[in-house]
Amino acid sequence: MSETPDLSPDERAVLMAALHAPLFDRDPVVMGLCLRLCGRHLLQRAGGMAMANGWRGSPHAFVLTRAGWAVVKAERRRFPIRRAG
């Protein structure tokens, strides 16, 4: 994925939250954003395959896909990291 898709600020925030931990939120707005990002192949449900591979989390959680990870990396490169010293 060479260019970042047009994402709303809320969708960007959901992707950044998925970077830190799988999303379990039951808020209907966040679930709608997660499902929209699933349609763009940036997030996916953890599902039964993750459970079969030994993941102990909820099968209903949303996690980043490879395409989602590429978008997050591109977003993080856009803003330089502040370094001390």
pLDDT given for residue 2 in this prediction: 43
Number of domains in the chain: 1
Tokens of 62: 């949303």
Q: Is residue 1 part of a domain?
A: no
Per the structure, the complete domain to which residue 25 belongs is given by 9-78
Higher pLDDT, 82 or 60: 60
Q: Which residue has the tokens 């047009």?
A: 6
Residue 43 resides in a domain: yes
The answer to whether residue 19 sits within a structural domain is: yes
Summarize the confidence of residues 55-77 as an average pLDDT: 83
The answer to whether residue 4 sits within a structural domain is no
The tokens describing 14, both together, are 């959901």
33-52: pLDDT as tens digits? 999 999 999 998 887 767 77
H or E stretch covering 63: strand 62-64
Q: Is pLDDT at 14 greater than 90 in this prediction?
A: yes
Residue type, 66: R
3 within some domain: no
Rounded distance between C-alpha atoms, residue 29 and residue 64, angstroms: 18
